[in-house]
Structure 1
Amino acid sequence: MKLKKLRDKMINNSIDFYIVPTFDPHGSEYIPENYKEREFITDFSGSAGVAIISLSEAYLWTDGRYFIQAEEQIKNTGFTLMKMGFSGVPSYTEWIGNTVEKNQTIGLDLECFPQESYEKLKSSLRFKNINIKNINLIKEIWEDRPLPPKGKVYIYEDKYAGKTSKEKLLEVRREMKNMKSEITIISSLEDIAWLFNIRGSDIKYTPLVMSYAIIEEDRALLFVDLEKISNDVKNYLESFCELYNYSDIFNYVEKYENTSIYVDKNKLNNKLFNCIDKSNEIISGNNLTEKLKSIKNSTELANIEKAYIKDGVALTKFIFWIKRTIKNKGITEYEAELKLREFRKLSKDYIYDSFDTISAYEKNAAMMHYHASEENSSTVKNSGFLLVDSGAQYLEGTTDITRTISMGNLSSEEIRDFTYVLKSHLMLATCVFLKGTTGKALDSIARYNVWKNRTDYKSGTGHGIGCFLSVHEAPPSISPRALESPMEVGMIVSNEPGIYREGKYGIRTENILKVVYDEKVDDDIFYKFNTISFAPIDIDAIDVNLLEDYEINALNSYHREVYNKISDYLTDEERKWLFEVTKNISK
């Protein structure tokens, strides 16, 4: 029905193909509810994907994290799944470049289409006389579309931020000078929140506010819905910047002429980019704030580590609870999720979860981003694995951690795969690497052991994490697709290899790592990782005979830390249990 309504609109507007990406105007990974147009038209709820609709066909592109989920959710919608990264599967730009015919028209909302993506699309069509029409057809058929968010903006205090906004603006201006730019336009919500030391509630699980910013050599301008700004926040912001209404950004940018302007084309939408006068010199690259934000200052690091202790306590209590409870009765995945949140809420600085908790039993865990609901939730029994990937937003920082928990009897295949995932996890956690090493190189180190087991996982091994910001933060990335951005001291990154057997189970072990200095040898500087998240790894699921001595020592050392850091916050019964499950293992 939705596709028919959309196609009727396409015919009325003489459009042959309509593209629906997963973006808001800021290139965000997680977007406000009112911008979830691709989810509306496809029923696929994953955080990444592009839909293309013609008058006779409809396709959804998404990556390996979501293949199983997408297949299930788009059933009976009229869409066909295109598995990104698979041999023989074209990208959506390649597909449309090969499919569209001369003089046809493509429709899309250019306010929700990053300039970089637009240029790739144009390149794929360069040999055809194609008209790209800026139009939003989804809003015309989405009858119960959510209203734009109206949550208030609040100040992120210096005791958490570690640096004032004025100090951060000086750092940005130094970077502007290095790049020979007089102005930078910032549309990334995480970067604006970090730079101005503000937070909001416009996106679920992520404390951001819809906004744009312009930084000049002697002025800072913030474009935001002024109704969200209280008098206290207004006074704070106006002490170092000028405030404008959110929609004023388009007219304001048109004023600049004969100026060097730095932009991030992966974040800046095409509509705003086209407002920049042609007389200006465009300098493009990742936002100047991006790397500054990713290297945490000493205050942020100290606070983040406090957040992970609180989070480890909650997760440890949860593991104890579910292992005891499951002996007597079944628990649904959804009930398990609620119980874990209940433990997290015991901390006074808990704000809300940092993403949709993945509480996935047996075969559901093979879907990397599965989410149980009250209406659709499997019962966890006294056997197999429960995978729980979860995190929280605390004032001190953002957390993310995964444990695969043995619920009882396990098969030899489950134990073997769990052990190989652990081996990969420990290899990354204990590796020493040369300054300048990229996440792409580290990814191969992490995958070595699962590759030895002739398996792979269709996701990255690790991602950066913000400080009371997004649970996914660039540029840190440990992935085959990681950009050539090296690891830097002070970055925070996840370590989460896995093995996923469709129709059987999924296994993932995730901790969070801090990049630290190791030592200098001659002219070479070496870095390493320190693990900063703490909860027991299930020793009941390990085949110790598959572990090497260094892996056994690393796990035992980690478990000693878990007990030392977590035990004081537990009841006597919980503490005795933790002592047992973190005991040294040996062959």
Structure 2
Amino acid sequence: MFQTFEAASTPEQGPPRLAALREAMAARGLDGFLVPRADAHQGEYVADCDARLAWLTGFTGSAGFCAVLAGVAGVFVDGRYRVQVRDQVAAAFTPVDWPETRLGPWLCDHLSEGTVGFDPWVHTVQEVADLRDTLRGSGLALTATDNLVDAVWTDRPAPPDAAFFAHDADRSGETAAAKRTRLAADLRDAGHRVAVLTLPDSIAWLLNIRGADIPRNPVPQGFALLMDDGTCQLFARRGKADAIADHLGPDVTVLAQEAFLAALTDLDGPARIDPASCPQAVADVLAEHDIEVVHAADPCVQPKALKTRAEIAGTTEAHLRDGAAMCRFLHWLDETVPAGGLTEIDAVRALEGFRRDTGALRDIAFDTICGAGPHGAIVHYRVTEATNSPITPGELLLVDSGGQYADGTTDITRTLATGPVGAEEKACFTRVLQGMIALSRARFPKGVAGRDLDSIARYPLWQAGLDYGHGTGHGVGVYLCVHEGPQGFTRAPSRGHVPLEPGMILSVEPGYYREGAFGIRLENLVVVQEAPAMGDNRPMLCLHTLTWVPIDRRLIDVDALTPAERDWIDRYHADTLAQIGSRLDGPARDWLAAACAPL
């Protein structure tokens, strides 16, 4: 049901694990060691064997890192996790607000001189270069070493061993051979002989394959080399790719993962690596063997983001299927809460059950967030047996969930009233809704990036002195990662600067969180498309909604809405009833009709 990270430390286990790591540091003459969330593939989610940050600190969020020194261990987390980290880590660890506090200055503040070690497999080229630049002249040095967490993690789980499988070209809209040929032409045009691929979702997209190495994300872990003639070498743990040999064809050679480093030493440059995702260890091997390196974006990232017509059609159907499952869940919730006895885990299990009842669910898209009352204020709250709370009438319930289907990935958040709530909750909910409406209605010129639109969704909250500490939206894959680059509605430079283009799928998810009281978030997925001509007919883009699930009308302060906002809500609900109504029957269909009634 949800990834628990069995190896994650408890508040009692964290201090002795930290002490063991410090002993290993001292034995190697290190004054510090860095423990990121990332693995060698730099994905957002990691296998249990790579959950080093959770094992050491107890923090299980999807982003963050720990800097361990002799006298302090800082756990760096962004605005999504500042409540969660305080609940999960022992007093031996010090939460640090990141990115407001940067690692380099923090190290300089806590260590006047010395050597900080890092595992070059779990830090990117860009991360290491930026940190070295920051520390230059400070008296602190960075040195690559083996992973010291692995050295003290005596019962570390084995790597995942699930087999890779083929993804139908009819669903992707392009054969793997065509993709390799297209990208190889781009490499030749740029004068690059080979692209080094380390992101599992890039490899999955390029070769039309999927895997089960990472919970919730159907990616195959491995490495690949794409040559400028369109041939490819895939490096995977032994046996994992045996079943897809015919699918891959003669131009893709499968090799053992242990052969990857040796293959790097034999390359003819220039070799293209993406400094934002390539492990420092790869760059070190290439440099040691005098192979010319070019820093450029992973060649798969941008074309993967531009969905084909087949992918858009598939994800449209997936959202209709998923929307019907969500509506059955919301109907069930309205019927069940008043009777009492319902808990967060009960709701999570019920929602997954409704999705599985479709007969098409491959997996949930991420661990379901189901936060009742104060838990809703924990942006990425994950219910456990220890935190499981009752869902009681008269509070807000935040449910953020999604499904992985062979034809698409869904991600939807609804905030619900479990009974009459106060005026303050309704006022905040309405401002969040106004932000979602404003961004959903946006028309914008070609060349506009996500950062240019992020503030549209925040403006209604800003007017009341409110805001939220996460991006307004992220890219989403098609039966791939639920968080996908390079685009996003965010001020973060890593994704917010990318111009939006037709075919990109993103979430629209403004929110508001009051610690200790309630949380509010509303989320639909949208696809960027050409806007109908108007004005002087200059090229414009707009956002087409993919998600069709009612918004809780009980939480809307109708008097605070403009006529245009009221019209948008009524039209959205009318379209939801038209799209989903035929997929429901009986009481669930009646519930949907009432939920979609005009304001």
Q: When the two structures are superposed, what TM-score results if normalisation uses the length of structure 2? A: 0.94
User: Which residue of the partner structure matches residue 569 of structure 2?
Assistant: 555
* Correspondent of 2:235 among 206, 213, 223: 223
Q: Deviations over 1:65-107 (max 9, x none)?
A: 000000111133x000111144xxx3112222444344x2212
User: Which residue of the partner structure matches residue 574 of structure 1?
Assistant: 588
Q: Deviations over 1:508-539 (max 9, x none)?
A: 01000011101455472111111011111000
- Distance across 1 between alignment mates of 2:458 and 2:445: 19
The answer to whether the aligner puts 1:106 opposite 2:106 as a matched pair is no
User: Which residue of the partner structure matches residue 565 of structure 1?
Assistant: 579
The answer to whether the aligner puts 1:502 opposite 2:515 as a matched pair is yes
User: Which residue of the partner structure matches residue 35 of structure 1?
Assistant: 50
The answer to whether the aligner puts 1:238 opposite 2:252 as a matched pair is no
How has the CA–CA distance of structure 1 residues 470 and 42 changed in structure 2, closer, same or farther, with 3 Å as cutoff? Answer: same
User: Which residue of the partner structure matches residue 4 of structure 1?
Assistant: 19
- Distance across 1 between alignment mates of 2:385 and 2:555: 29
The answer to whether the aligner puts 1:274 opposite 2:284 as a matched pair is yes
- Distance across 2 between alignment mates of 1:194 and 1:416: 43
User: Which residue of the partner structure matches residue 81 of structure 1?
Assistant: 95
Alignment of 1:248-397 (within 5 A): 248-257=259-268, 259-277=269-287, 279-397=290-408
Aligned length: 578
Contact 2:369–2:380, Cα closer than 8 Å, also in 1: yes
Letter in 1 for 2:285: C
Letter in 2 for 1:498: G
- Distance across 2 between alignment mates of 1:357 and 1:30: 14
- Distance across 1 between alignment mates of 2:360 and 2:170: 14
Alignment of 1:432-447 (within 5 A): 432-447=443-458
Shift of 1:126: 1.7
The answer to whether the aligner puts 1:247 opposite 2:258 as a matched pair is yes
**Matched position secondary structure for 2:286:** coil
Shift of 1:581: 1.2
* Correspondent of 2:161 among 145, 150, 157: 150
Q: Deviations over 1:34-76 (max 9, x none)?
A: 1111111110000111101111111110100000000111133
**Matched position secondary structure for 1:276:** helix
The answer to whether the aligner puts 1:476 opposite 2:487 as a matched pair is yes
Q: Deviations over 1:426-449 (max 9, x none)?
A: 000111111111000110111111
Contact 1:97–1:124, Cα closer than 8 Å, also in 2: no
Letter in 2 for 1:542: I
User: Which residue of the partner structure matches residue 517 of structure 1?
Assistant: 530
Contact 2:397–2:417, Cα closer than 8 Å, also in 1: yes
Contact 2:241–2:254, Cα closer than 8 Å, also in 1: no
The answer to whether the aligner puts 1:62 opposite 2:51 as a matched pair is no
The answer to whether the aligner puts 1:526 opposite 2:540 as a matched pair is yes
- Distance across 2 between alignment mates of 1:93 and 1:179: 34
Q: Deviations over 1:357-415 (max 9, x none)?
A: 00100110000000112342110011111100000100011110000011001000000
**Matched position secondary structure for 2:339:** coil
Letter in 1 for 2:19: K
**Matched position secondary structure for 1:175:** helix
Q: Deviations over 1:303-358 (max 9, x none)?
A: 00010011101111111101111111231001000000000001122011010100
Letter in 2 for 1:287: D
- Distance across 1 between alignment mates of 2:97 and 2:504: 32
Unaligned runs of 5+ in 1: none
Letter in 2 for 1:568: S
**Matched position secondary structure for 1:331:** coil
How has the CA–CA distance of structure 1 residues 105 and 129 changed in structure 2, closer, same or farther, with 3 Å as cutoff? Answer: closer
Letter in 2 for 1:45: T
**Matched position secondary structure for 2:352:** helix
**Matched position secondary structure for 1:19:** strand
Contact 2:118–2:142, Cα closer than 8 Å, also in 1: no
How has the CA–CA distance of structure 1 residues 264 and 318 changed in structure 2, closer, same or farther, with 3 Å as cutoff? Answer: same
The answer to whether the aligner puts 1:161 opposite 2:176 as a matched pair is no
Contact 1:463–1:476, Cα closer than 8 Å, also in 2: yes
* Correspondent of 2:201 among 185, 190, 206: 190
* Correspondent of 1:539 among 553, 575, 585: 553
User: Which residue of the partner structure matches residue 4 of structure 2?
Assistant: none
The answer to whether the aligner puts 1:26 opposite 2:41 as a matched pair is yes
Letter in 1 for 2:351: L
Shift of 1:239: 2.9
Shift of 1:143: 2.3
Q: Deviations over 1:534-556 (max 9, x none)?
A: 11100011000110011111111
- Distance across 2 between alignment mates of 1:454 and 1:330: 37
Q: CA RMSD in A?
A: 1.4
Shift of 1:178: 3.7
Contact 1:27–1:266, Cα closer than 8 Å, also in 2: no
Letter in 2 for 1:139: D
The answer to whether the aligner puts 1:406 opposite 2:422 as a matched pair is no
Letter in 2 for 1:446: A
Letter in 2 for 1:560: A
Unaligned runs of 5+ in 2: 1-15
User: Which residue of the partner structure matches residue 46 of structure 1?
Assistant: 61
- Distance across 1 between alignment mates of 2:105 and 2:44: 23
Q: Deviations over 1:125-162 (max 9, x none)?
A: 22136251412111122122111000011000112111
Q: Deviations over 1:234-288 (max 9, x none)?
A: 122233311111121111111124x212111111111111111464332213211
**Matched position secondary structure for 1:351:** strand
